[in-house]
Each structure stands twice: as C-alpha cells, then as structure tokens.
Amino acid sequence: MKNLQETKVVIVGGGFGGVRTALNLAKINLPGAKIILVSNKPHFEYHAALYRVVTGKSPLEVCIPLNEIFENKNVEVVEDKIVKVDLTRKVLFGESGSKYKFNFLVAALGSETAYFDIPGLKEYSFGFKSITEALRLKNHLHEVFASCEKAPKEEKVCLVHVVVVGAGSSGTELAGELALYTKEMAKNHNIDPSLVTVDLIEVAPRILPSLPEKVSKKVDKHLRSLGVNIFVNRAILKEEIKQVYLHDIEMKVKTVIWTAGVKPNNLYREVKGLEFDSKGRVLVDEYLQAKGQQGVFVIGDAASTLYSGTAQTAISDGKIVGENIYRLIKGKHLVKNTPKKPVTAIPVGTGWAAVVIGLVELYGSLGWSLRRLADFRFFLTILPFKKALLAFQDGKTICETCSICLPETEVKAVI
C-alpha cells in the first residue's frame, strides 16, 4: 500500500463526471489522501434543465455552487482553467500560474461545440451548451421581439423566426419549449402570434435519429401539434447575419440555434501520450484509464466509451473511477466499466415528455412527471435534502429580464 500522506488525486472539471468522482472519493475513507477538484467555473451546471433557462425560468436551478456541493467534504475546490497537462512529469498547469502535481488524475473536461467549418455558423448562430449561452439566447430573443413592435410587417416575420438546428434530445426539447414561449412573448409585445415561426432542422431522415422510430414519430407528432415546423434530410450549408442556407431553401431568420455538433474539449488534443478514436474522443481501457497511462482516467463526454455523451454515463464513469482510485491505492484489482444504456427522457413543451427505459416507453404527463422526478433525484445525489428541494423549486421561478414579459405580480413587486 502507498503512503496515503503523499497521495494527491486531482480531478479536472466540475461537471457531471468530475463532481461524482470527487463526491465518491470523499465518501470512501482515504485518510491523508488529498482530493483536489480544479474547475474553470465556481459552479456546477445542470444541462438537463437549460431549456427552461432560455424560456424564462430561474438559472438558479441549473447553477449549483461547487462550494455548496462540497461543504464539509474532504475535497479542496480550486477555480482555475487548466491550460497544459504533462503526463510524464504528472503535473497540470493552470491559467492562474499555479501547478497541480498529481499521483492520480481524473480528466472530466466535457465537450464543446463543433461547427464543422460551416461558413458563418460560429459567428452568427447561438449555442446551447452552458448557462452563459442560454442567457445570451434568451436576452437576444427579448431584444428582437421588442424591436419587432415598430418594424414593418415583412421585417417582423424575419425577426420572430427561430430556427433550431439539430433534432437530437437537446434541440428537440428546446424547439418544443420555444414554440410555446415565443407565442407568449409575441402576445406580451403586441405582435400577432401567427407571425412567429419555430423550425427544427435535422440532417437525418427523422428527428431523434438515435432513438427507436416509434419514439421519433410520437415526438414529431407532438412537436407539430405545438406548431413546430420540422425539416428532415436538410443540412445547413451557410449562415449569414439574417439568412440561413439549406440545399433547397433559403430562410430569412434572425435567430439560428446550433445544437447539432459536439466534440471533446480541445485540451485533450494537446496532451502528449493520449490516443484518440475517429470522433476525437480519448481511447480508454476497460477501467477508464487513458490507453497506456496507469492512474490517468478520462471520463464523461470525452472518453471513447459505448454511451459517452450523456450525463448518466459521466456519472456512472465517475463512480467507477472513484472506486478504482481507491483500489489502486489499496493495491486491489480494478473494477471494469460495464456501460449501461442510458434512460431517455425528453420534455417537449410544458407537461409532456417522452421517456424510454429499456423496452418501456411512456409519453405525455406521466413522462413529464417522471422526468421532473429524475431532476429532483439528481439534485438529491449532490446536495442535502433542503438544498436539493430549493434548487428544484428554483426551476419553477419565473426570471425575466424583459420588463414587458415580467408577470404582472412581479411588476407590482418591482414598483
């Protein structure tokens, strides 16, 4: 057994995988071992509820301070951006100038948006991967709706036209929620709601292409009932400031939301000693160690595993890695990663969700209740009961920056 006094476990990334690893390591009694969580943000972001932030709910539900998660836990939380990793010397370099030496490293840096070099997309589209992007999008929507009131009719149609590109889970849930939200915004801003258009564009022959066809059909029908126009077999070729080009259509539109491309965090590419699959994900062994790198674990979105790309997989990876670091320290055999198929739960507009658990499919309000229950259950895994309840309840709080769209009760309170 190693001398625990000297054992430094550094976890990089305070998202789903990193937080789970740190919590599990803190739970296992490793006296003397130092657990350090380095993340470039002081908070954890709950991506699964980001669509609600875009459509006027409080960002507090999706923004949980790391210090609250690790209060009274044997984990040192450091806010820093890691800019260089030296696996040979076992040291990480932070943007702040700090160096972090490690005996064991867990890299949980997640993914970033990929634009596939489509002209104009990076400059003119809106992202949907973080709280900052969600709030930027919400503020933009309110700005264009406000400017629409005085615009000539032909210009109005362009201003209240919203295009969501990518009909995977996140694009689908956002399109459904926006269909309802933009109609409400139109009413508040004295715009005829029939002028508002929400389009969902997908390159595959159907929406939710990774799910069974029956699920895709049901969600498609429900989205259309909410007023979303669905275009399949269409790729974005080019975007300009007020125009987007598909191979057979040109759309005049002020708001294009790009949800169709993700790639592993760029930092991994710069780390000497890592190997990658064709999607740029880091090759890992059956214990989630980077190929050929004992004691260096890569988890979550950037790991080349069967179901990477979901929070559920990142959490499961974090549990296994926590256990394996303990086992390495104790000189025991490591446990293998046995990937589990994630549950799918896609909310589509308020009160309706499609849930797929193995062979069981549920739709409608029951699906919605299950999905909200899953949100609450997740908060319980990282926070004590009272704080978990507060975070969950924040998801119901209206939070509008646009004074015209504030509910009447809140306007009175402000006055």
Ligand X SMILES: Cc1cc2nc3c(=O)[nH]c(=O)nc-3n(C[C@H](O)[C@H](O)[C@H](O)COP(=O)(O)OP(=O)(O)OC[C@H]3O[C@@H](n4cnc5c(N)ncnc54)[C@H](O)[C@@H]3O)c2cc1C
Rule CB under 6 A: choose which of 28, 34, 40, 147 binds ligand X. Answer: 40
Q: Which listed range, 40-48, 199-207, 268-276, 350-358, lies at the site for ligand X (CB under 6 A)?
A: 40-48
DSSP 292-357: T-TTEEE-GGGB--TTTTSHHHHHHHHHHHHHHHHHHHHTPPPPPP---PPPEEEE-STT-EEEEE
Binding mask 142-181 for ligand X (x = CB under 6 A): ---------------------------xx-----------
Report how far apart, in Å, the C-alpha atoms of 282 and of each of 107, 110, 369 are: 10, 11, 36
Rule CB under 6 A: choose which of 12, 36, 37, 198 binds ligand X. Answer: 12
Q: Report whether 293 contacts 87 (CB < 8 A).
A: yes
* Shortest distance in whole angstroms from residue 32 CB to ligand X: 25
Rule CB under 6 A: choose which of 57, 129, 183, 254 binds ligand X. Answer: 129
* Shortest distance in whole angstroms from residue 375 CB to ligand X: 9
Rounded-to-integer distance, Cα 303 and Cα 283, Å:
6
Shorter beta-carbon distance to ligand X: residue 56 or 300: 300
Strands of 34-39's sheet in order across: 76-79, 34-39, 8-12, 104-107, 296-298
Cβ neighbours of residue 142 under 8 Å, at least 6 residues apart? 185, 400, 401, 402, 404, 405
DSSP state of 226: T
Rule CB under 6 A: choose which of 34, 41, 90, 234 binds ligand X. Answer: 41
Q: Report whether 53 contacts 134 (CB < 8 A).
A: yes
Q: Name which of residues 53 to 92 contact ligand X (CB under 6 A).
A: 81-82
Rule CB under 6 A: choose which of 314, 334, 356, 405 binds ligand X. Answer: 314
Two tokens at 361? Answer: 């499919």
Shorter beta-carbon distance to ligand X: residue 227 or 309: 309
Rounded-to-integer distance, Cα 16 and Cα 13, Å:
9
16 binds ligand X (CB under 6 A): yes
Rule CB under 6 A: choose which of 10, 22, 35, 50 binds ligand X. Answer: 50
* Shortest distance in whole angstroms from residue 408 CB to ligand X: 30
Tell me, rounded to whole angstroms, the distance of Cα 415 from its chain centroid.
36
* Shortest distance in whole angstroms from residue 356 CB to ligand X: 12
Q: Please identify the residue of the shown chain whose CB is closest to the bound ligand X.
A: 15
Q: Report whether 29 contacts 122 (CB < 8 A).
A: no
* Shortest distance in whole angstroms from residue 317 CB to ligand X: 8
Number of residues that bind ligand X (CB under 6 A): 33
47 binds ligand X (CB under 6 A): yes
Q: Report whether 188 contacts 155 (CB < 8 A).
A: no
* Shortest distance in whole angstroms from residue 16 CB to ligand X: 4
Rounded-to-integer distance, Cα 262 and Cα 265, Å:
9
For residue 266, give the nearest of 245, 284, 282 by alpha carbon. 282
108 binds ligand X (CB under 6 A): yes
Query: What residue ranges bind ligand X (CB under 6 A)?
Result: 12-18, 38-41, 47-48, 50, 81-82, 108-110, 128-129, 169-170, 265, 267, 300-301, 309-312, 314, 342
